[in-house]
Structure 1
């Protein structure tokens, strides 16, 4: 094979490979997630920090009138934990506050929040009953949600996410509890986005 034949053969191989790649993409839907042709909406995200915990909220997997609302509660300092969602509203003998997420308005909860970590019990000086907490560090609550026709969700509308929590450390004590911190959500037929107000 001379040089000219070698170059022609190499070009043919590259063109064939390109054709095969294009065919493979077409067979798999013709584009990657996030390309302009992707029908799936991107996830909406917002965050805030209060009393030593950064909370990151995400609305994802919105299909028709349902989606998933996730909240990551991340203590800023090492060795701090958050309390179980099942903790009483006033804590155990006044200690702790439940990690909480709820929605109202154009979006309703479509189930109970699920936590990414297992609950464990700790003993606190001066408290007789065990206190249920998540392991030190971040914990994620996931809540299935649906657009609510009464709140205007089928035509679009506004919703409010309310978040509550307290973080504590066995060595450094507890931060001031946060109760009912509001985050606003705009709901449309295509999904939900967070409002800056």
Structure 2
């Protein structure tokens, strides 16, 4: 079922601690693996988007790139991934406007693709699945520094979003 931006804007409430603000819903933020994370759903002219902001909590750390291969490079690093199930299904690949760069952690003979220091916003295009009112967003990520090593990776951290019918 295709939704107009106005109808889609009425669909979302986040899990505990969520807030609605205009056309978006925001799930309660969390911190795991040294990275602060927030997840929201937005309705845009071209459809629904799940957006996830990832920000390393320590200076000098960088979130691994979406382009990092599964399994890392020589077994080092964990690729950043976002996926959904339930009431929101992906309609395309995740993207980000963040600039990619390469780090070489001290003491390791490997070059790892990461994003610039600071917040990285992942964007996943999605569609609403009829008959379902619950969606889960799963995030996999890690952060690394050239001088302080790499932080423990986070695999498939789940965030639940509850959807309500349009007009409610």
Specify the TM-score bucket, using the shorter chain as the normaliser.
0.7 to 0.9
Q: Which has the higher helix share?
A: 1
Deviation at 1:89, TM superposition (A): 2.2
The 5 A counterparts of 1:1-197 are 40-41=9-10, 42=22, 43-46=24-27, 47-61=29-43, 66-124=47-105, 125-128=107-110, 130-148=111-129, 154-190=130-166
> In the aligned structure 1, how far is the partner of 2:38 from the partner of 2:94?
15
Deviation >2 Å, runs of 4+: 38-42, 121-128, 187-191
Check conservation: 1:109, 1:146, Cα contact below 8 A: yes
Q: SS of the counterpart of 1:88? A: coil
Gaps spanning 5+ residues in structure 2: where?
A: 1-5, 11-21
Q: SS of the counterpart of 1:92? A: coil
Deviation at 1:106, TM superposition (A): 1.6
Q: Which has the higher contact order (CA 8 A, sep 6+)?
A: 2
> In the aligned structure 1, how far is the partner of 2:141 from the partner of 2:41?
20
Structure 2 length normalisation: TM-score? 0.78
User: How many residues of Structure 1 are paired with residues of Structure 2 in the alignment?
Assistant: 146
Structure 1 length normalisation: TM-score? 0.67
Which residue of structure 1 lines up, in the alignment, with residue 14 of structure 2?
none
Gaps spanning 5+ residues in structure 1: where?
A: 1-37, 149-153, 192-197
Deviation at 1:62, TM superposition (A): 6.5
Q: Which has the larger radius of gyration?
A: 1
- 1:68 to 1:177, Cα distance in 2 relative to 1, 3 A: same
> In the aligned structure 2, how far is the partner of 1:159 from the partner of 1:100?
17
